[in-house]
Every structure is written in structure tokens, then in C-alpha cells.
Structure 1
Amino acid sequence: MNLDLLRFSPGIYFAPAVDWLNTNFHPLFEAITNVIEAVLGALESALLYPPPYAVIVAAVLLAALAINIRVSVVTAIALAFCLLAGLWAASMQTLALVTVAVAISVTIAFPFGILASRHKGFEIAIRPLLDIMQTVPPWVYLIPAVMIFSLGRVPAIIATIVYGVPPMLRLTTLAFNQVPKDLLELGQATGAPPRSILFKIEIPSAMPTLLVGLNQCILLSLAMVVLAGLVGAGGLGAEVTRGLTRMEMGLGLRAGLAIVAIAILLDRLSKGVLQGRSRSSDMNA
């Protein structure tokens, strides 16, 4: 029996599909690349143009005014570590990359999560896709992204978005499914429009689970950053890769701890901002 007939090679079908996409949708991919590069470039310039101490002071003051003193202290420690570790530029590049990737992931996942919570058929339909997206090893996403967008930061962001959307989408769906029915019925009984019910009842009630989803999205995006260093994305991922290839334990450890500092910083800032908005929404209601 010829075993070759039983073997399945996805590349035989995948490669022509990628070639067809590159041939027919090159202007679209080029436009996406230009937009992402422009946004990333602007954010990186805003973070790297001022002196590091000025950025740290401004971030600490904003955190203290917008959130609280505890978050401002965490901000100071995280950014000071990145500076003292000698990885300020790489840390700011990673911060910009992860911020853009998480923002796009949440923008995609949040409305689809709400839609899935309202339509069970849609949730059932996308569940296998989400299972596949979360099961496939993360570095696999870099292969088609590089084939379509070439090397650099854009394929890194695209792969990071694909990896970060599923947990945020799942937890958004769970959060809205857990909203107490009596609160929804109360809002409908008072004649509140659907928009008011969404922003004044559902989102505040779902906020704890939404914060868990955002936390997972940030952590998975930062995990992807290390792999993104393999495709020329720069940042701390490139430093980790350099430490691995050169067997420099000190560099790899410093870069890894800097990634942890960025993760804690983004988690505390995002959680503080969203919880502050939730409290203000409750007071207005």
C-alpha cells in the first residue's frame, strides 16, 4: 500500500492561496502595512523623543492623577527598571507594539463577544475557530504573516492580534452572559434604550470578567513579542533572541524581566483606567 496517498500536506494548498492573496490583494496589504507603521512610528516617537526621565515623570504624574498613587508607584518602578537595565529604547518599542496590538485585538474581540452573547448560533459557529486559534502554537501564526507582509513589525503585530483575540472574545461573551437578568429587566422596565442598558448596566456589571480578558490579552501579546523578535520586530523580543543565540544569560534575563515590568505596567494602567470609568458610570447612573 502506498502510504504517500494517505499523507496530507497543508502546504500544497496553503502556498498557492498565499500567492493568490499576494497577487490580488497586494494594495490592501500595503495599505495595512503603511497604516500600522505610521501608528507605530508615531507612538514610538512620542515615547523615545523626550528624555527617559521626562517620560517617567510624565507617566507617573498621569497615573497619579488619573488613577491613584499606588499605580503611579508601580509605573515609576517598572519604567525605572527598564531604564536602569539599559533597555529603554527596546522597552519603549515593545510597549508601543503591544499597545497597538492589544488595542486592535480588543477592538475586534469586544463587539464580536457582545454579538456572541446575544446570538447563541453565532457563538456556536465561532467556537471551533477560537479553539483552533488557541490550540495552534503561537509561532505558527508568524509563518503566513511573514509570507504576506514580509519581515518586520507588521507581521509581528498581525500574529499578535490573531493570538490575542480569542481569550478576549471568549471572556467578553462570558462576561455579558453573566450579567444578572433582573438588572436587564429593570432597565427595560424603566424604558431605557438599548444603548443606555449596554453602557450603564451591562458593561459595569461585566467589568470584572472583562478585566480578566484584557489581562489575558496583554499577557499573551507580550508572550508573542518574544517570538516576534525572530522576524525582525525589534524591541525586547530581539534582545531575548540575541541573548539566546549568543548564550548571554545576563542579556536574556534583563530583557525577560523588562517584559515582566511592561506586563505589570500595562495591566495596572488598563485596570485602573477601566475601573475608574466603571465607577464614574455607576455614579452617573
Structure 2
Amino acid sequence: MAEQTSGYLGAAQIREIAAGLGMRPTKHWGQNFVVDANTVKRIVRIAGVGPGDSVVEVGPGLGSLTLALLPEVGHVTAVEVDPTLAQALPGTVQRLAPDYADRLTLVHADAMQVHELPDPQPTALVANLPYNVSVPVVLTFLESFPTLERVLVMVQLEVAERLAATPGSKAYGVPSVKAAWYAAVRLAGTVPRSVFWPVPNVDSGLVALERRDPPRTDATRRDTFTCIDAAFAQRRKTLRAALAGWAGSAARAEECLRVAGVDPRTRGEQLGIEQFAAIASARAALPD
């Protein structure tokens, strides 16, 4: 194994570790490993995490980002689904960053099935997320772990743009609205495909989310999200038509919209999360 002096993994070391494990990245788990030290430094810097933070990292892979996080934060809980990588990561950290090995907890699990984590509870989610599960992971973790204050994730650029999109923009859709229930969202940067091994077919983006209180509403989050799904399932239709099935009829949908102060001729892509919450609240007040 090449001598580790910088605290960061380079491309040659990452390939050596992978070869030693007899593994190659798989499409099944959406594995694309970061091989550029400057990229992981940038992620940690933009995440704004420090000694008071307990970070959950989803998909640590061979440990590039994990090794960058450990010296900067109080604790890292790494959630890894690949059994080979999950078994190898603690040893990699012990070998390359022994002074920080006690800050790492490894959870071998599918992140989509994780609704509890060992203490300390996470204050930040920082991760290079597999493209195929990026949005569900972000939304699930924000819902399951109210201690999360901040999120900084690297995802496919198109997904990053959708998460950070604002009402009326071309990229605006269900992920944009649902993420806004939990947090203020912004596109924090772009990442070229060349920093990954293997090189993906798309560029990536960094998305930053800052937790905030959900909208005031008499409806539940689930009811509000059901309303959002209905509105965007037929996004070319007016909300009066798109929400007819959800509300029980077009007339009831129109009543909900008028109570919420929304023109029934509006389309879902024009509304923000507060307006969807108001529509769901109006529906909750209607007699069945």
C-alpha cells in the first residue's frame, strides 16, 4: 500500500485499495468513487461542519470523503450497503488515520431502510450519493432524523438542479417542493465527471440544505405530499382538474383552492410549498 501522508486518498491509492479487496465499482449500487482530493476538501468546506457536528455519510465507498471528514468533525456514522466495502472501511481508517479511528461508526445497511442510527445522533448529512437513490435518501433522512440541521450532498447535476429549483422554473417538480418542506435548498456548486472512478456519463452538482420549520398547516406532511404528487402527476392540467381525484371531485378541488387563495386555473409548477400546505389544510377541513 502506498504511504499515506496527506490524510486524503489519491487515484492510485483508491485503485490499490479496490484491487486489494478484489472489487470493482458496480452499477447495481451506483458506485462512482471520488479520486480527487481537492473535491473532498471542497465538499467538507462547503458543508460547514466542525468539531461540534456528528455527520452521517451515506455510501462512503472506499473512504475518500470519510477520511476528509474525520479530522474536522466530532463523529462520522458511515452507512454502507456493499458488504465488502462495509467490512473494509474501518480497517482503512485505522491504517490511514489511526488518530481518528475512534470517531467512526460503521452501519452496514441499505440507507433507504435506515430510520434509526446509534448515538451520537446526526447533525449533518454529508455524502456522495448514488445517483439512483439520491432524492429518496435526502427526503427520508430529513424526515427520520430531526436532529439534522444541514445537508451537503453530491448528486447528478440534473437532480441537484431539480432539488434546488424554484416555482415556475423548468426544473421545478416534486423533489423541489418536498425538499422545501424541510429546508432552504440551494445549488452549491458543480463537479466535473473527471473526478470519479469510473467516470460517469454526467456531471455532478453539490446541493446544500439548511433545516427550517415546515409550513404552518392543519394538514399532515403525508397529506401535503399526497397533494403535491397529485398536482404533478398531471402537471399540464390546471390544479382544478389535476386535484379532482385527490379532493374527491373537481368541485371540491376548486373549493380547496379558493380557500387556500389559489386560482383554480393555476398549474402545480407555479406553486411553492406554503401554497401546497394551504391547499392540503383546506382539504383536511372539508367534511368527507
Band of TM-score, shorter chain: under 0.3
Greater relative CO (CA pairs within 8 A, separation 6+): 1
TM-score by length of 1: 0.27
TM-score by length of 2: 0.27
Indicate the structure with greater strand content: 2
